[in-house]
Structure 1
Amino acid sequence: MGEVKKEFQNFHWIDLENPKMSELSELVRPFGISLHLLEDTLQIGHLPKIEKVGEFNFLILRAYSAKNEENSSEISELTNKIGFFFKENLLITIHQRSFDFLHSIQGNFADAESLILKIAEKMLETFEGPADWLSEQMDRFEHDIFLNHSRKFSVEDLYYDKAKARACKKLMLLTQMVLNQISVKPANQTQVQDLKETVASLILQFDDFLDEANSILNIHLSTTSQKTNEVMKLLTIFSAFFLPLTFIVGVYGMNFQFIPELTWEFGYFLTWGIMAGISLVIYLWFKRKNIL
């Protein structure tokens, strides 16, 4: 377990990284934090929330931590959370994964609220990279579809990218609810409003990707269906030509002893003429109907 303590003028910050339950309960026992809330901080897939328990406010937020190229679709695979316990003069953060932005936060914060909002800002920034990457992925999908590079188009990649966008959008909606519920001092209202605007922007980006992904998938299915129809059309045309010819060949290929036409001097040429005439009639009919 990693533990970092920082002293500020009006409060102090305790950051706990990857603690075990026994270590965690021992460390926070002097603060009277509920064991139930500690369990929430250690649950891998816990979603964003905020609640007040006794003198402490309890907050959970999630930051994006997966690599863009990973085929992950679950929230617990794509993101990791930070649990916040805070009151006027104390902030405790608990997380299982190491976050670089926690170590890079600098400045003299007036209160725990302003530090929490700064951390929340850094956590939201982790979603901006994936949002931009998904936008680039959509450009690639459109390029492959509309420029007839269907062999490069991957439905599997589109599925995982849609799953990422859905998971991120869900988290942003929950984060938006948390930000709407959070109560801060007037001096920190501007920071909260900035966070709300960032979340709204991210929701729109992920929502746009999902809409475009559905459109791309429908276009892909339509294109595939069109190609199948073209193949079926070609097979039907071949069948229309060869079916009557196959019938004639089948009749005169029967092993009966007495078939009058077999003794005709020009029977062979007459049969070829009939087959050529039937083919010509079929061809002219297809041309008239604009099938060929």
Structure 2
Amino acid sequence: MRKIKYKKGRKVQPTLLEYTGVHKYTHTEVQLFVYDDNDLAEFHEFDIDEMQKHVNFAKTNWLNVHGLNENEVIKGIGDYLGVDNFMLSDILNTTKRTKLDEYHDTLFFNVKSLLPEEDSNNIKVEQISFLLKNGILVSFQEKRSDFFTHIRERMRTHSGIVRTKKADYLLYLLLDAIMENFYITIENEEDKVEELINLSKKDTNLSVLEQIEKHRDNFNFLKRSIIPLRDSLYSIKSIKDDNVFDAIESNNFTFFERLHQKCLELLEQIEYDMTTLESASNFFFSTQNHKMNEVMKTLTVVSVFFMPLTFIVGVYGMNFENMPELHWQYGYFIILGCMLLLLLGMIYYFKRRNWY
């Protein structure tokens, strides 16, 4: 079972800028995309000291950060945007759950991206954070990945409406790409569950039950990851109702409502899959009980075969003198023949009754 790890060090300074993830040796790289309907400019290996020079608030700006180890880079971006340290601390603290914060004119979104590990039943977890403020969107990833490659290509080829929209629509696209990973993970889990159901019908090895419990934990973990995302997306509705936060255009709230609907669909699918997994567990125990019943049936039949034979042997094993059969010349062979005929008769009778 996955547990939340308690970290003593964070109790002293809650706003301490300290990366707590596993990718501690990943070099921090920054990309900047500045675009509108007519133009697109890309800056790779971007130096944050040049933000004042290249960021154009008359256009849409997307600052994408790979790697969270260099605190001075994260701090420099926060200083440029005027973001409080507690938000930067949440970006670097990967133990935080998914959440949405609206603070003054800044929208902070923190989400977990999940993908299945190859050749394993484990799930990879990566925290991705977003800052949306004044026409600029900053995304923070723990490592380089291809989650957003198709969005970059759409920008370069001017496909769709991404170049005609603002940073809030870009935030929707990035969140939608992350949610696609949930679908991939659930589909991968479903394929393995289907294999387990087939295996549980014929294999009573305890390793099957261990795999079932492992996937049950995975589904619970998926559920625990999606529920706060669902709640955060629902909170965007309150931003719309308050009508005090203009970083999201009113006609773009419907896109975030679609993401909220996707979360509900994912949760419904997980509930269905967990029910299916329960069926696999029931199949396993049914198969195990059936096999045990077959063993007990075989042992019972064998015991019944030998019970009358044991009785006959016991009778002629008594030390009485007046047992005429003991003095017959062929008494031994007659009794053996009777025992054999009795055994064959019982086998025939049991076979006719389909008792074995």
Q: CA RMSD in A?
A: 3.2
Which residue in the other structure is 1:81 paired with? Answer: 127
Paired residue for 2:215, among 155, 158, 161? 161
Question: Is the aligned partner of 1:118 residue 2:173?
Answer: yes
Asked if the contact 2:112/2:125 (under 8 Å) is kept, the reply is: yes
Whichever residue aligns with residue 203 of structure 1, its letter is: L
Question: Is the aligned partner of 1:217 residue 2:290?
Answer: no
1:58 counterpart SS class? strand
> What is the distance in 2 between the residues matched to 1:178 and 1:287?
67
Q: How many residues align?
A: 285
Which residue in the other structure is 1:265 paired with? Answer: 329
Where in structure 2 are there 5+ consecutive unaligned residues? 1-27, 36-57, 156-161, 240-247
Paired residues for 1:85-234 under 5 Å: 85-105=131-151, 106=155, 107-108=162-163, 110-145=165-200, 148=202, 154-182=208-236, 183=239, 184-234=248-298
Change over 3 Å in CA distance of 1:66–1:140 after alignment to 2: closer
1:93-138 Cα distance to aligned partner (Å, 9 max, x none)? 2221223133442232533321111100111111222233333334
Normalised by the size of structure 1, how large is the TM-score?
0.81
Whichever residue aligns with residue 95 of structure 1, its letter is: Q
Asked if the contact 1:10/1:110 (under 8 Å) is kept, the reply is: no
> What is the distance in 2 between the residues matched to 1:203 and 1:68?
24
> What is the distance in 1 between the residues matched to 2:317 and 2:70?
87
- Please identify, of 279-288 and 132-141, the stretch whose mean Cα deviation from structure 2 is larger: 279-288
Which residue in the other structure is 1:37 paired with? Answer: 87
1:37-63 Cα distance to aligned partner (Å, 9 max, x none)? 323222334321112234322211122
Paired residue for 1:4, among 31, 46, 59? 31
Question: Is the aligned partner of 1:65 residue 2:115?
Answer: yes
Whichever residue aligns with residue 245 of structure 1, its letter is: L
Asked if the contact 1:78/1:164 (under 8 Å) is kept, the reply is: no
Percent of aligned positions that are identical = 24
Where in structure 1 are there 5+ consecutive unaligned residues? none
Paired residue for 2:302, among 208, 229, 238? 238
> What is the distance in 2 between the residues matched to 1:211 and 1:258?
72
Detail structure 1 runs of 4+ shifted over 6 Å in the superposition.
Answer: 256-259, 287-290
Question: Is the aligned partner of 1:20 residue 2:74?
Answer: no
Normalised by the size of structure 2, how large is the TM-score?
0.68
> What is the distance in 2 between the residues matched to 1:259 and 1:55?
113
Whichever residue aligns with residue 216 of structure 1, its letter is: A
